[in-house]
Copies of this chain bind each other. A is one copy, B any other.
Amino acid sequence: MSEKLAPQADPSGTAPRRSDATRAAILDAARERFAAEGYERATIRAIARDAGIDPSMVMRYYGNKEGLFAAASEIDLRFDDLDGIRVGADRHAGAVLVSHFLDRWEQDEVLTALLRVGVTNEAAARRMQEIFKEQLGPLVAAVCPDPAEAPRRAALAASQILGMALARYVLRFPPAVEMSQREVIAWLAPTVQRYLTAPEA
């Protein structure tokens, strides 16, 4: 009676459902559409068409459009891969951070989606705040001189990183698009480095 919804023992903790493939297809399509067109123009009908199913399935699995976006925009900035910063590479924190963000941005369209949607959608903007606060914040606090300054320094670094993402991946300013990843890092790393570690004023 208690395990009615779990047809078989499940080591991972979540019961696998027969519809998991469909759910994933919906999420993939949603991420792509949200990233490419923003919240309003990414219609549930179009997402369903991309996923090869009926629009009503989207509602069944994610409740409503807001719920779909919430599910599709879950993000992990993957700073765990970066524990190198703490261990003593503080002098290269800027370069490591910029490089990491560029990688993440080019691999994961969720970041573009969140940026595109966050500009118009209050909930997405708050989500973005949380992500940067909770994931970038601690990392900055560990690197910067006075932990009390961490939020401000993180915001400054975020402003440069988001600004480049905006110019390069969203607005597609030709010069920003044409720069190689290495060039972008060479230019932005000192900026971010200074925001993180330079003494105030």
Chain A residues proximal to chain B, CB less than 8 Å:
37-38, 40-41, 115-116, 118-120, 125, 128-129, 132, 151-152, 154-156, 158-164, 166-168, 170-176, 179, 183, 186-187, 190-191, 194-195, 201
Contacts and interface: CB of A to CB of B under 8 A. Distances in A.
Contact of A119 (B38, B163, B173): B38
A129 to B, nearest CB: 6
A120 B194 CA distance: 32
Question: How many copies of the shown chain assemble into the complex?
Answer: 2
A139 to B, nearest CB: 15
A131 B183 CA distance: 24
B190 A176 contact: no
Given A38-B120, A187-B195, A173 B160 contact: no
B118 A120 contact: no
A163 B160 CA distance: 6
Given A41-B40, A190-B194, A151 B175 contact: yes
Q: What 10 pairs between A and B have smallest CB-CB spacing?
A: A163-B163, A155-B175, A40-B40, A38-B120, A159-B163, A151-B175, A159-B167, A159-B164, A155-B176, A119-B119
